[in-house]
Structure 1
Amino acid sequence: MRIAVTYENGQIFQHFGHTEQFKVYDLEDNKIVNTQVVDTNGQGHGALAGFLNSADIDVLICGGIGGGAQAALAAAGIKLFGGVSGDADEAVKAYLEGNLTYNPDVHCTHHDHEDGHSCGEHHCGEDKHGCAGNH
């Protein structure tokens, strides 16, 4: 089993679509046997679900996440635990103990801009209208 966590400086990064790194935990017999920090190479939003799927991720722990990414993860068969904050390693330990506090109805509120802005249309260097986790 493999768990991925949106990752920045030891903490759970709070915006799935803008995460630059995942910390990946390999598990055997419900114990962590290996971890690695993986760079997303600037991929965002929809591409990240494919990135996780190709890395054989079973579970994603993250902060905020939009509906499109949630649907892509569901289609890839990746279980989502969103709305989580704090230390990445502690969150994985809590998950393994069955004590992870998460929000099953998590979503990114910034996807509701009046100007028709869609966070799914970002390109490198584009102004992200404050989407970088400042919700």
Structure 2
Amino acid sequence: MKVAVTYEKETGNVFQHFGKTEFFKIYEIADGKIISSQVIDNGGKGHHDLPPYLKNLGVETLILGNRGQGAIDAIAASGLKEIPGITGSADEAAEKFAKGELKGNFNAKCNHH
């Protein structure tokens, strides 16, 4: 299974504004463990184009910080599962997800929306 996390390269943390995400860290997960990961750019995409871009890469689940209603709709329309409201280390979030321990906050929204 492929999981994408909005990624802040400078800190290694989950990037908090989905529509302005420049990078994603893609994790391949099997048997409750991360077996590989890579950092990719956003493919020149933004906001509504990001979910289909990730889906076309084989991503099934998106771990992210905050997002606006447009992003919520685009994520749902693409068929991606989302786990929003995540902060801190992207690697730690992916490890928790792999173990089935990551809990999202579906009230997490960008404060300018």
Check conservation: 2:34, 2:98, Cα contact below 8 A: no
Which protein, 1 or 2, shows the higher relative CO under an 8 Å CA cutoff with sep ≥ 6? 2
- The residue aligned with 1:77 is 79
Whole-Å separation in 1 of the counterparts to 2:14 and 2:3: 13
Q: Structure 2 matches for 1:47-62, cutoff 5 A?
A: 47-62=49-64
Structure 1: state its 5+ residue gaps.
Answer: 112-135
Q: Quick check: which has more Rg, 1 or 2? A: 1
Instruction: Look up the SS of the partner of 1:90 in the other structure.
Output: helix
TM-score, reference length from structure 2: 0.91
TM-score (norm. length: structure 1) = 0.77
2:112 matched residue in structure 1 = 110
SS at match of 2:82: strand
Query: How far does the alpha carbon of each residue in 1:59-105 deviate from its partner, in whole angstroms, 9 at most, with x for none?
Result: 11111111111111112211111111000000011112222232022
Moved over 3 A (4+): none
Structure (1/2) with the larger strand percentage:
2
Measure, in 2, the Cα distance between the counterparts of 1:70 and 1:31: 28
The alignment-based identity, stated in percent, is 46
Gap regions ≥5 residues in structure 2: none
* Counterpart among 13, 16, 35 of residue 33 in structure 1: 35
Aligned length: 111
Greater shift after overlay, 17-26 or 65-74? 65-74
Preserved contact between residue 66 and residue 110 of structure 2 (Cα < 8 Å): yes
Could you tell me which residue of structure 2 aligns to residue 98 of structure 1?
A: 100
Deviation of 1:109 (Å): 2.2
